[in-house]
Structure 1
Amino acid sequence: MADRLLVIHTNDLHSRLEAVPHLATAIRSLREGMPDDRVLLVDCGDHMDRMRPETEGTMGRVNVALLNRLGVEAVVPGNNEGLTFLPEALAELYGRQARFRVLCCNLVCRKTGAPPPWMEPAVVVRKAGRSIALIGVTAAFSDFYEPLGWDALDPIDSVRSTVARLRANCDAVIVLSHLGFPLDRRLASEVDGVDVVLGSHTHHLLERPVRFGGAWIGAAGKFGEHVGWMLLTLGGENGGVELEDGGCVESNRYPPEPWVERELGVFREEARRALSGVAVELPAALPVRWDAESPLGNLAADALRRWTGADIGLVNAGQLLDGLPAGPVTFGDIHRVCPSPVNPCRMRIGGNDLLRALEESLLPEFYHMPVRGFGFRGDRLGVLCVSSNVRIEYDDAGSPYGKIRRVAVDGRPLEPERMYDVGTIDMFTFSVGYMSLARGEDKRFYLPEFLRDVLLAGLKEEKGMEECRISRWRKRESEMKEDDG
């Protein structure tokens, strides 16, 4: 006899907590009329995002509390959990506070070669009188996980071996995937024995589940805007798993749940108090611009150079959302101005690639460019801010990629064929914005620090406060005007 199972799935909330009151009502509506043992509610990662003060100020406690109250039964950590929280913080959140299972088959501790006590590769649950295997898998950003003490294993191979271990004793296999749609399709097509893949990471919205290979794939977009669902038939005529119906519902079509709003109010006040401490006293205001160099942008570039011990410091002005006033500056102010969870990075970049990026920084199509993802939580890319040992002379009337007349590093001309150590941010290694910077070599990532930690260190240095007002970009009159003179 066939049994029915309703699977409800969320993903990539990114701490857009204002969506949760509506999302909670949508979930309650979806599960109405179904016994609890025939409903499975899961989250597929990136529920947390430290760009939001509620998550930053509570170190993720607000997210876990909401998942608990919603009745989520299992989650897979996304990169925003795994890469922006130390293992000790995750142990507190997932090991002590969570009332749900934390699943990931391709992350292990470097020291032990095994997952920590609070995380399992998979779990078998009883639903609708059947045994359902749930497997978690996350994006394997190995270069970033290693400094935090993790080994990120090949996701496809890890799922394949986990399925092989569990399949014979289960009626269905469901993968909670934080890999993104391209790898979800590979999972469905290449790994035998998977019935359902619940996706995330690339923020794809599948209004109806799609079939690849032997599995159905579902995904609910981003930011809590939708809730995904699948109604499955288990043990039908063919003895397998069949999709009876499925799709996504828009959460904002549902009224807010009052209990969520009350709980959010409590955590918002807790976060406000936690971030209200004074981080630094500034003798003068530090304005910022995204379309030209500015004191705060310059200070960030200098701070990156010192932090990484590089030849040059480099950062895009779009990372800084506002300036800072004179006087006391709180941790909340630092977070508000620099919310992106991007990490410092040092890499060797050729002089020609640096010059190309600097030329692009003078073009409106670059500094106006909207950027989404890759840790960036701003709006526009912004110009490149450089450290105080760099001087750039340019002719604004010059043609694109021909505006710069001279670049000097430590008083010596930039050498096109030389490799320079550059202290910058990890975002550029993903070919975002100034693409030539991604060709850098010998990359070293500094985790768990964020750019805002480096910025705060720079704000505390008297020398940095003085040097940030020194102009690094010098506009000179066009050669035509010089000739006319």
Structure 2
Amino acid sequence: MLKCKGRNMINVPNINQTASNIGTTQPKQEKVPNQNSLNSNSSQTQNYTQTIYPEKTTSLWGAKEGSVYNPSTTSEKDPKTTHTSWFYINDVHGKMTNMERIYNMTEEFDRSNPKAITNFYKDTPQGDISKFKVSSGDIILGANYTHNQVANQFLNWSGFIASALGNHELDIVDPTKMAALLDNASYKMLAANIDVDKNSPVYGRIQKSMVVEKDGEKYGLIGIAPSDMNERVKMNNTLKDFKVATPDETIKIVQEEVNKLKAQGINKIVVLSHEGIKNDKKLAQETEGIDIIFGAHTHDLIEGIKEGENLFSSKSGEPVVITQAGKDGETVGILNVDFDEKGVIKKVQNNVIKTRAYNRPLFIKDSVESILGKPEVIGRVKAAVEPPEKRLIENNPHGNLIADAMRSELGTDIAILNAGNIRGAFSQGPIDTRLISDITPFEDNMMILGLTEKQIVDSIKVGLKSVTKSSNKPGILLVSGLRYKANKKGELLDLEFTDKNNQVHKIDVNNPDPNKKYTVAADDFFATGGDGYLESNKNPDFVIQKFEMDKNKLACDYIKKLNQPIEIKDDHRVEFVD
């Protein structure tokens, strides 16, 4: 953990540990990295410290039409109105450059007076506005511990008070390391619907709920982990210590936790949920006492307030608002909420803001590098096509380069890479090791597999089923050494294998050979049946060789050998036709 001199981090509200919590320690008061210790030369810093209001960019507090729910006009007569403003994030997925931008946004959120900026409070001018920063999980991604330390410190530096437990938090394969991260967190990790083995190092470090007291008002926060945790995370020593409730069990558990909070006189209750939009809608309508559900997991970008979409009535007929701010730290949200004396929402405004418009403060960038080390420049991009809009179900030239690296560096016939593994893209300019880790961040272990033609064809067909699913999951397979064509129904039409002598061989997609084998470069997530491309098997008998390294190292080694600068082009190796 960084111990930097400088100004204190944003004040963290008092935490009441009596609401079904585990442990009684107060959150640590972290310090943000020191801005004053940096060189103030403007030529060094101007790329990161320009105005946070770039031209033609919506203000952090800007409202769009339809973003305000206000069923009553009597608020100015109610002296008990409680004003709140909630800065929320979800599914940042370890995107460090966007974390740096989000930190900048949290600073603006803290220092701004929203009454002077937005008209949301114009009819309720009395009283202060209580501000909170919350996360709905998946801030971490992958098993790289130093990267996970950055994500943990980002939440600390930015002043977040709580986070739901997402599936990617369990990418941390060593439970002792997860425990160490939580011990160094100034926020609380929440998940009411999990049981942790009492012998696990993580035991006692994740709470069901917490109570926050600010400006004389108390708020109950409850966390929910994803019910499909075991399907979304590769089995590891941390995951085996966790048991997660089903969606229906989760609803009952959350209602019990709400009832405990209400018994303490708390009438403003917030859920940080990593269950996904479908389960969140069900939770909103089948419980009572919940006011806000800050959602995650399904990567929905929910703008504004729309009845029947993200505004529902609870069992007791009170309004419940649901939010979600997309994925990869591309957007954040601000939810402005007025509560009446009984803790019922009387007015709400939901804004989502793109992070790309905000600069990366140089002192935060330097602080991140103090944890990670300076990145090594390994190449340069002359030109690159845009990444696909629907990265799970479209050919991805950026991911194809990684697949080519896997095949070349391991010397196999074929490489297979699930589209969901690619989380970033190349752009014109230098390529460094940090960018490679940003593009493929999971830190799995590479393998050489001996797969039959039938296994390869079947796995491609599994991926193509994603084309017709609303979630687009698990995603198609990106390949090297193969080319395939499918229709828009997700039916495999044509498949070709190009051998090391550049000879092209047709593969019968309807009758693939169950005996003919190919060497395949893949990661252990794919090999052991992750996302169902192959049959689930912790110890498959087709593994020829294992490596304690992931595709990011292979990509770095491969790119160094290419003629520079490189171009990222679409070669249509995966093609969809009408």
Range of TM-score over shorter length: 0.5 to 0.7
Does 1:240 find its partner at 2:343? yes
Which of 18, 22, 28 pairs up with 2:97?
Answer: 18
Match of 1:271 among 363, 372, 392: 372
Distance (Å, rounded) in 2 between the aligned partners of 1:359 and 1:122: 42
TM-score (norm 1): 0.63
Out of 515, 520, 535, the position equivalent to 1:407 is: 515
Matches within 5 A, 1:403-482: 404=512, 407-408=515-516, 425=526, 429-431=530-532, 437=533, 440=535, 453=548
Give the corresponding residue for 1:340: 442
Deviations 1:252-297 (A, max 9, x none): 4754263xx3222233254236999xxxxxxxxxx98847994545
Matches within 5 A, 1:324-339: 339=441
Are 2:262 and 1:183 aligned? no
Please name the residue that 2:156 is paired with.
68
How far is 1:176 from its partner? 0.4
Which residue of 2 is the match for residue 46 of structure 1? Answer: 138
Which residue does the alignment assign to 1:86? 174
Alpha-carbon distance, 1:101 to partner: 1.6
In 2, the alpha carbon distance for the partners of 1:163 and 1:85 equals 32
Q: Distance in 1 between matches of 2:350 and 2:263?
A: 29
Q: Deviations over 1:426-481 (max 9, x none)?
A: 785425xxxxx45x356679xxxxx973669x99xxxxxxxxxxxxxxxxxxxxxx
Check conservation: 2:156, 2:187, Cα contact below 8 A: yes
What is residue 63 of structure 2 aligned with on the other side?
none
**Deviation string for 1:399-452 (max 9, x for gaps)?**
862574673369xxxxxxxxxxx9762785425xxxxx45x356679xxxxx97
| AA partner of residue 241 (structure 1) | V
8 Å contact kept, 1:8–1:227: yes
SS at match of 2:210: strand
Matched, 1:110 2:197: yes
The alpha-carbon distance between structure 1 residues 68 and 37, as it changes in their structure 2 partners (threshold 3 A), is farther
Distance 1:257 1:138, change over 3 A: same
* TM-fit CA distance, 1:196: 0.8
CA distance in 1, matches of 2:267, 2:460: 59
CA contact (8 A) 1:179 1:199 kept: yes
Aligned to 1:307: none
- Counterparts in 2 of 1:84-483, with a 5 A limit? 84-95=172-183, 97-111=184-198, 116-140=203-227, 141-142=229-230, 144=233, 147-148=237-238, 149-154=240-245, 155-169=250-264, 170-209=266-305, 210-214=310-314, 215-236=320-341, 239-252=342-355, 255-256=358-359, 258=361, 261-272=362-373, 290=403, 294-296=407-409, 315-316=416-417, 339-342=441-444, 354=455, 356-357=457-458, 381-383=478-480, 401-402=509-510, 404=512, 407-408=515-516, 425=526, 429-431=530-532, 437=533, 440=535, 453=548
Q: Which amino acid aligns with 2:187?
A: F
Q: 1:223 to 1:404 in 2, by over 3 A?
A: closer
Q: Which runs of 5+ in 1 are unaligned?
A: 277-286, 302-313, 322-330, 386-391, 411-421, 432-436, 446-450, 460-485
Q: Distance in 2 between matches of 1:127 and 1:352?
A: 62
Q: CA RMSD in A?
A: 4.8
Contact 1:343 1:426 in 2 (8 A): no
CA distance in 2, matches of 1:219, 1:86: 29
Q: Residues of 2 paired with 1:334 and 1:28: CA distance?
A: 29
Three-state SS of the structure 1 residue aligned to 2:372 is: helix
The alignment partner of 1:120 has SS state of coil
Whose helix proportion is higher, 1 or 2?
Answer: 1
> Amino acid of the residue matched to residue 195 of structure 2?
V
Change (3 A) 1:63 1:441: closer
Give the Cα separation in 2 of the matches to 1:292 and 1:273: 23
User: What's the offset of the Cα at 1:200?
Assistant: 0.9
Q: Does the aligned pair in 1 maintain the 2:136–2:294 contact within 8 Å?
A: yes
Q: How many residues align?
A: 381
State the shift of 1:251 in Å. 3.7
Q: Give the match's secondary structure for 2:88.
A: strand
Cα shift readout 1:121-178 (whole Å, capped 9, x = no counterpart): 1001113422211011111323656742422321333323322322232111100011
Contact residue 335 and residue 452 of structure 1 kept, 8 A:
no
CA shift for structure 1 position 57: 6.2
**Contact residue 304 and residue 349 of structure 2 kept, 8 A:** yes
Contact preservation (8 Å) 1:57, 1:274: no
Cα gap change, 1:334 to 1:452, in 2 (>3 Å): farther
One-letter amino acid matched to 2:261: L
**Do 2:417 and 2:479's aligned partners in 1 also have CA atoms closer than 8 Å?**
yes
Conserved? CA contact 2:175–2:201, under 8 Å: no
Partners of 2:268 and 2:422 in 1: how far apart? 48
Q: 1:231 to 1:153 in 2, by over 3 A?
A: same
